[in-house]
Structure 1
Amino acid sequence: MNNTPESSFERCPVCQGSGSLRHLVTIREVPYWRCERCQCTLMDARCRLSPDDEQEVYRLHDNQPEDPGYRRFLNKLAGPLLARLAPGSEGLDFGCGPGPALAMMLREAGMQVRLFDPLFYPNHGALAGQYEFVTCTEVVEHLHHPLETFSLLDRLLKPGGLLGVMTCFQTDDSRFANWHYRRDPTHVVFYREATLQWLADHFGWVLEIPAKDVAIFRKPLSQPPVPGNG
């Protein structure tokens, strides 16, 4: 008897690969899928929270910009990013949440930072510009349409611009079931370093991993066309 569940995805939402998903594991009746093309791990779409329930979880987050511990955590990205930016660079904190601590830290370092968050700072005018840098901390694991959002982030970057992403990289399948990151019900997609490299290759970016769970992508000054999805 075949107990393998049927996937709710027609294509991988990260790479749009067709027929690339295999069942990885089912945990408490929630199936998870591995894409053999980009190596991401996906919660089955039928098991995602409703938008209202998802927002309730987000509103429980209590990340205070003045919290020294939270600042140390964010400095894993802020430090390497600032080392690569010219003084006074203009950027966007995408998905900044209710307490935009990273934007505050970057402003204190002399950067100009605009904010966007679909729930807490729905400033869609900020999405009309282009920036020397975009930050995306603890955001990409929530995305229901990752490739669509990464395409937007690419459009937001000026040539030569930097995209800083912070998310817990998924590394050990044997620990996946008990992994704290998986247990957050709003986390629906998990990235391996290979997944981030696939995204870099797809968009023509250069990828650096300056610290654990931190990726910095550089958009080249001249960029080839993005390849077609398939």
Structure 2
Amino acid sequence: MNLVCPLCHFNQHQTLFHSDKKRTYIQCQRCRLVYVSRECLPTLLEEKREYDLHENSFDDEGYHRFLSRAYDVAATETENFIYVKNALDFGCGPAPVLAATLSRNIAEVSFFDPLYFPCLPDKRQQFDLITCTEAIEHFHTPHEEWHWIVSRLSENGVFIVMTKRVISASRFAQWHYKNDLTHVSFFSDFTFTYLAAKSALTVSFPSDDIAVFKRI
């Protein structure tokens, strides 16, 4: 296949991972990212229409409970935010609930979403904590987003990613997570370990859908 991995930009050994009636999924044999073939990517309008169906709001107790898992990991990894002066919630969606929760303990909390809050922080600003909850799987160009985020991580910074991870091709075939048309990039333990090594970060996996990156 004459394809280029959207994460590591490897232009060899991009192999068919899975195919169904709706989409084709490719796996890079270098970083092991599984990604939707480019012709199957949703348009911006299709993405917005799908996101607007979600009931993620400040009034949704279930959404608060869901995000509390990322908050609890952040608190543990930063010793209850003792050295965290600022934070960024990257890909917050229409309701920056996690950012609001973090602001109870952190003086300065920013949030960004390409559709709902598209103003990026100042280019020179770095963050002691960055969260990306249920957003990285939406990245069409994960190479660019990953390097942007890592470049904003402070010397002792912590980056927390929440996304369900690829286990195997057989399980992927039955996986409901892939059926969301806005989910286009799928990561595994191998992929995150690869990214950590390339970015001078450590990585740990406190749960089956959370990865924690720290500066070495």
Q: Same fold (TM over 0.5)?
A: yes
The corresponding residue for 2:75 is 82
Aligned partner of residue 65 in structure 1, secondary structure: coil
Aligned partners of 2:64, 2:163: CA distance in 1, in Å?
Answer: 16
Q: What are structure 2's unaligned runs of at least 5 residues?
A: none
The corresponding residue for 1:61 is 54
The corresponding residue for 1:217 is 213
Aligned partners of 1:107, 1:81: CA distance in 2, in Å?
Answer: 13
In the alignment, structure 1 residue 15 sits paired with structure 2 residue 11:
no
Query: Does the C-alpha gap of structure 1 residues 126 and 67 become closer, same or farther in structure 2, counting only changes over 3 Å?
Result: farther
In the alignment, structure 1 residue 37 sits paired with structure 2 residue 33:
no
Aligned partners of 1:148, 1:22: CA distance in 2, in Å?
Answer: 22
- Runs of 4+ with >4 A deviation: none
Alignment of 1:1-230 (within 5 A): 6=1, 9=3, 11-28=4-21, 30-85=23-78, 86-87=81-82, 89-110=85-106, 112-220=108-216
How big is the shift at 1:29? 5.0
Q: Percent same amino acid among aligned pairs?
A: 33
How big is the shift at 1:110? 4.1
How big is the shift at 1:165? 0.5
Root-mean-square deviation (CA, aligned residues, Å) is 1.7
Aligned partner of residue 103 in structure 2, secondary structure: helix
Q: What are structure 1's unaligned runs of at least 5 residues?
A: 1-5, 221-230
* More displaced stretch, 111-120 vs 165-174: 111-120
How big is the shift at 1:189? 0.9
How big is the shift at 1:42? 1.1
Aligned partners of 1:25, 1:167: CA distance in 2, in Å?
Answer: 19
Q: Deviations over 1:84-132 (max 9, x none)?
A: 2233531011111111111122123445311111111122235541110
Aligned partner of residue 92 in structure 2, secondary structure: coil
Larger of the two Rg values belongs to structure: 1
Aligned partners of 2:22, 2:212: CA distance in 1, in Å?
Answer: 35
Aligned partners of 1:17, 1:110: CA distance in 2, in Å?
Answer: 39
The one-letter amino acid paired with 1:24 is: F
Aligned partners of 1:103, 1:137: CA distance in 2, in Å?
Answer: 11
Aligned partners of 2:91, 2:205: CA distance in 1, in Å?
Answer: 21
How big is the shift at 1:22? 0.7
Aligned partners of 1:164, 1:125: CA distance in 2, in Å?
Answer: 18
In 2, are the aligned partners of 1:76 and 1:211 still within 8 Å (CA)?
Answer: no
The corresponding residue for 1:224 is none
The corresponding residue for 1:223 is none
How big is the shift at 1:66? 3.8
The one-letter amino acid paired with 2:166 is: Q
How big is the shift at 1:28? 0.6
Aligned partners of 1:79, 1:111: CA distance in 2, in Å?
Answer: 18
Q: How many aligned positions are there?
A: 213
